Structure 1
Amino acid sequence: MSRFPELPLRQEVMSLLCLCVVPYIRAKLENRVTQYQLLGVSKGWVQVLLRLHSTLHFLWESSVLGNYLSYMTGHSASHSPLLHLAGVTLQYAAEHEQESKFPLLSAKFVGYLLTRTLEFGAFFLRFLQCWHLGDMQHTSVTALPLPPPFEGLPQAAQYGEVCPICFQKWKNETVLSVSGFVFCYRCIVQYLQENHCCPVTTYPADTGDLIRIYSSSS
């Protein structure tokens, strides 16, 4: 018999919402706020969103700190405000429950090990076949001609330390990883949202390919 009964359906749903859905929404909101701050957008409803985010962030961090202090002093059963909201706590499993799981884990491990061994054996046999076939044909990968060195794009030199879109000094330098060119963050984000490609090389790209450069001059 388990020392801890199963959670009611309501608490299971609340746990999933508080531990999965709420952190996901918070991460999305943090990402959107960061984009607005980098783009310098602070008008209309965006300004309201930024102020609301600052207030909610302060309240949340304060509640986390207060909950930690309550948990350390024994006044709270949950170490996280989300767990407290869901009405659940973390507890140690009974010793006999842990021991009962060992045979099942051992069986799974043996099955996993056997499967991986068979896969590795099949791969090794295939490797030996390819090696033997290569020796028979007297071919060598090193005998293939080397490709010429990359000489770079001819239009790269004209940009120097300016953004290829606005032709001004970089602001919030951001590199597009698919091409290696550096742009202003605001310029490249707007361009990618409209065209979905690099403005210099026309390589397909999106905002997920952007890498911010943090320098002393930015």
Structure 2
Amino acid sequence: MAEAANVRQNLQNVPSIFEISAAETLDNLIYPALSKVFDYFGLRLDFKLWGNIRVREELSPLITWILQYLYLRKRASSFGESFYGLQRTASSTGELLTRRQQFSSATLLTLLPYVERKLRARSAQHEDTYAWESQLINLFHVYNASKAVHTFLYLIKYASSHSPLFRALRLTLRYPSEPPQEDKWTYLFLKLLEVLAFFLQFIQWWYSNDQRRKLGGTLQNPEPLPERELPQELRETLPKSGECPVCLLPLQTPTACAVSGYVYCWKCIVMHLKEKGTCPVTSYPITIEDLVRIYEA
């Protein structure tokens, strides 16, 4: 009877899907925000593994996992869930997370978004992908579709969890019946991390606006020199209309540089970007995100 009463009381403390979505959004901000900070300071794991194999990886996933595990251990919730006052409990009993559930929750919170982000980045950059990578991307599509179905069932009060991962771990999100018991230093430390949530959101906003400024063309495009002012030998090497400025051949897979506006072959601009990191014509610094594929109508 006591257990049944506890379950009924627990089911009444159900958060709305909007609060759950806001918590997930905040969790998803941690990795990209930390990546921008670490990239700015040049902080990366860089060491030789064996032979000619070298590991060059960022610290963001590791720090993200440590942060999430700390919150799951102390408050039985992720960083974003704790910020919105939510708590992970067992679906059947309402008990808090076990040590195994804390570890698996932190790993899934960090690993799945990281792998999906890496796979989509490789696919967007047209790098040579393996068959298993394409299959993994398809699995992520299936997972996202399954999550949408779970969200709908949770919205109409038909399911106790909003995500297939929560269902697999036999967990659900609830409002805690009483505040977590923490010592003074743990409380201050976690409160400081929650204040940093606004800092994470600011970094993400700044980065998105910086990308928007790049695409908007805040840099002034250079004025081309009149051909009559150029030497004869240089005039003969100028690309004609429809030719790539790098290979001087007809454009293949035309790709525009959003920073300068010049159009190149995809392979030419990517090879030059990997070697120089600049626009071949203007020498402006560019990245792979500054390249825009052009499709003919």
TM (norm. structure 2) is: 0.41
SS at match of 1:90: strand
Aligned: 1:9 with 2:89: no
Q: Deviations over 1:64-111 (max 9, x none)?
A: 2443354346453221123334443221344x75xxxxxx9xxx9xxx
**Count of residues in Structure 1 that have an aligned counterpart in Structure 2:** 161
1 CA distance for matches of 2:164 and 2:154?
10
Unaligned stretches of 5+ in structure 2? 1-74, 76-86, 90-94, 180-186, 196-219, 228-234
Which of 174, 187, 194 is matched with 2:268 structurally? 187
User: CA 1:176 to 1:170, structure 2 compared with 1: closer, same or farther past 3 Å?
Assistant: farther
Contact 2:119/2:137 (<8 A) preserved: no
- Counterpart-to-counterpart distance in 1, 2:104 and 2:222: 58
Matched, 1:154 2:225: yes
Tell me how far 1:51 sits from its aligned partner.
4.2
Return the match for 2:174 from 72, 84, 91: 91
Q: 2:257 aligns to what SS in structure 1?
A: strand
Task: For residue 25 of structure 1, give the secondary structure of its aligned residue in structure 2.
Answer: helix
Q: 1:73 to 1:176 in 2, by over 3 A?
A: closer
Deviation at 1:22, TM superposition (A): 0.9
Counterpart check, 1:27 vs 2:108: no
**What is the match of residue 71 of structure 1?**
154
Structure 1 residue ranges without an equivalent (≥5) = 98-103, 113-148
Which structure has the larger Rg?
1
- Larger % of strand: which? 2
Question: What's the counterpart of residue 140 of structure 1?
Answer: none
> Residues 22 and 53 of structure 1: is their aligned pair in 2 closer, same or farther, counting only changes over 3 Å?
closer
Aligned residue for 1:207? 288
Once superposed, what is the RMSD of the aligned Cα atoms? Answer: 4.2
CA distance in 2, matches of 1:17, 1:90: 18
Where 1:169 maps in the other structure, the secondary structure is: coil
Judge which range, 64-73 or 179-188, deviates more: 64-73
Aligned equivalent of 2:251, options 138, 145, 169? 169
Equivalent pairs: percent with the same residue?
A: 26
Letter in 1 for 2:146: S
- Who is 1:80 aligned against? 163
CA contact (8 A) 1:83 1:89 kept: yes
CA distance in 2, matches of 1:14, 1:22: 12
- After superposition, the Cα gap between the structure-2 partners of 1:12 and 1:214, relative to the gap in structure 1 and judged at 3 Å, is farther
1:166 to partner: Cα distance = 3.1
CA distance in structure 1 between the aligned counterparts of 2:276 and 2:288, rounded to whole angstroms: 11
Structure 1 contact 15–88 (Cα < 8 Å) conserved: no
Q: How far 1:187 sits from its partner (Å)?
A: 2.4
